[in-house]
Structure 1
């Protein structure tokens, strides 16, 4: 196996990093950096995995993972995880009408599609408590979904629900009648959706497994980038901050601690890269291994980064808190595996 990025992937990483440097700003009224998100769309980075007939490049999860890692490295204030929770599953599972209606809008940044993969005390739930009942020619959805990435920005949410004999995934408008949104939690009370809103199922459990696979792989790539970004930020800080007339990096205890963060970052990177490579090659991605290493190492590494920053690490005008929040979000997802 060769984990070296190919020319296309290196170009994606370079272009994404350049756009982030030029366009990134604080979150706007929509709760995210809309200027950056649309700049990424204009550059074609939100359509990497879309088919050419819908304006995409026909690439795959490996290229999307490269983009997510770069966005994580910058802790960019954009709905990045929607690419893994929404765009990739929709491209794979959507009907031709669903894909034609939503994928081009995702590519331009006009639509944000995410997924409600978690329920209370049940991350990446396999047997949803949310129910879909056929009544009067429509499906009625009832249940509670939690920890939905970018719910505040979402125009559509992929909602897994238990049918009479299997699990289905529905495309739901978060502003539809019967939907109540509070933070990243969505409550559904008899929400009416049609047969046209149901994604293709395949074998029992196949659609939900596909959603979980893309969601976890993308989250790990995003988290891998966030950990690398926190390491770079901390390395720069201890190299420039002086104590007793010497840079902090010259103190043995500090050097040992930043070395621990480096080892954790490289471990997470290797495990994530291996999983994404295997997924793109059609092999068992072994995501549980990468998820274990992330959940085990990344939060401890971020705690060290905070410690090495001292008081500045908890200042909301300094970016470290954004990396911490991203790593915690991905870590909670990983602990279900």
Structure 2
């Protein structure tokens, strides 16, 4: 089987890597993290102009990609650079839900980079269960509470899940809708989220429900695993460089056998992680999707924790300073395991799906 990228995907990867290498420095990211918005509108617009957002959608939806490997290419580079802008939540999840709902005009705005979205589905006590929805929809009015809604403060519209006659349905809510309260806060891994309260808030029915949420979550898991892979590659590269330059007893510490063996173990685990991402992307459109995604998410979570811990330990105290690249990257790797199901959740899910 040929695992090499197509010419179009290779060009996209090269373009995105060059841009982020030039523009997305550690100092730039720290400035973004310190801002009230928690994201850069300039970076978002420029990446949209480069066609990055279009790669997240199929041709029928107005894009030029949308397949598992397209998502993997984009999000691996975003993870490699530690990008904190909400491409996963706003563009991929929000945009693809609008595409499923047939809102083509809004999807065009998402691809152009002029429309920000937030997906308000998770609720307090819901953990990772997608069918845990207690928000109620009555007569087009929504009442309930949503937790950890990514990009809610910057969003022009929120896509909110609610129970309507015992069925989970999705509604489009304007950011200025009456009864909508958004309480934002910064996240450890970068970006911002919010607790969202709805009190009789009007919503426009999108005529899609739980199946759409499950499909877009599958896309998000592929993107999340690829993003984490990119972050792990950066953490490993930083550690390798550090071991080659930091000297002790007159020679680089990377020449000491104990550290060399630990570094070799990281490189082996990194290759396993890459195989898991390829597997997840390749099976995205098949009947084995859910089983494969759980296997991949579990492995990425376990390897990610190992890479983050080993990278920090081999760096020493410098790894904990905000001015050094690894500090942010390690946080991203560890916190990624807590989105869309952690290692324990996906191990149990894999077992359940295997015996079903």
| Structure-2-length-normalised TM-score | 0.83
Report the Cα distance in structure 2 between the residues aligned to 1:114 and 1:65, rounded to whole angstroms: 21
2:271 matches 1:292: no
Report the Cα distance in structure 2 between the residues aligned to 1:190 and 1:281, rounded to whole angstroms: 40
Report the Cα distance in structure 2 between the residues aligned to 1:174 and 1:263, rounded to whole angstroms: 46
Q: Which residue of 2 aligns with 1:246?
A: 251
Q: Which residue of 2 aligns with 1:150?
A: 151
Contact kept, 8 Å, 2:153 with 2:194, in 1: the verdict is no
Q: Which residue of 1 aligns with 2:163?
A: 162
Deviation (angstroms), 1:55: 5.1
**Counterpart of 1:85 in 2: which secondary structure?**
helix
2:37 matches 1:36: no
Report the Cα distance in structure 2 between the residues aligned to 1:23 and 1:282, rounded to whole angstroms: 40
Contact kept, 8 Å, 1:94 with 1:199, in 2: the verdict is yes
Q: Which residue of 2 aligns with 1:192?
A: 201
2:38 matches 1:8: no
Report the Cα distance in structure 2 between the residues aligned to 1:321 and 1:110, rounded to whole angstroms: 31
Aligned positions of 1:115-134 closer than 5 A: 115-134=119-138
Report the Cα distance in structure 1 between the residues aligned to 2:260 and 2:333, rounded to whole angstroms: 22
Report the Cα distance in structure 2 between the residues aligned to 1:43 and 1:169, rounded to whole angstroms: 31
Aligned positions of 1:204-283 closer than 5 A: 205-280=210-285
2:95 matches 1:87: yes
- After TM superposition, the structure 1 stretch with the greater mean CA deviation from structure 2, 46-55 or 267-276, is 46-55
Q: Which residue of 2 aligns with 1:63?
A: 70
Aligned residues: 326
| Structure-1-length-normalised TM-score | 0.87
Report the Cα distance in structure 2 between the residues aligned to 1:38 and 1:221, rounded to whole angstroms: 22
Task: Tell me how large the CA RMSD over aligned residues is.
Answer: 2.3
Contact kept, 8 Å, 2:58 with 2:67, in 1: the verdict is no
**Counterpart of 1:153 in 2: which secondary structure?**
coil
- After TM superposition, the structure 1 stretch with the greater mean CA deviation from structure 2, 234-243 or 67-76, is 234-243
Report the Cα distance in structure 2 between the residues aligned to 1:59 and 1:210, rounded to whole angstroms: 13
2:90 matches 1:76: no
Q: Which runs of 5+ in 1 are unaligned?
A: none
Contact kept, 8 Å, 1:3 with 1:277, in 2: the verdict is no
Change (3 A) 1:232 1:79: same
Change (3 A) 1:177 1:7: same
Report the Cα distance in structure 2 between the residues aligned to 1:125 and 1:75, rounded to whole angstroms: 28
Contact kept, 8 Å, 1:54 with 1:100, in 2: the verdict is no
Report the Cα distance in structure 2 between the residues aligned to 1:29 and 1:186, rounded to whole angstroms: 16
Change (3 A) 1:223 1:191: farther
Deviation (angstroms), 1:206: 1.4
Contact kept, 8 Å, 1:174 with 1:181, in 2: the verdict is no
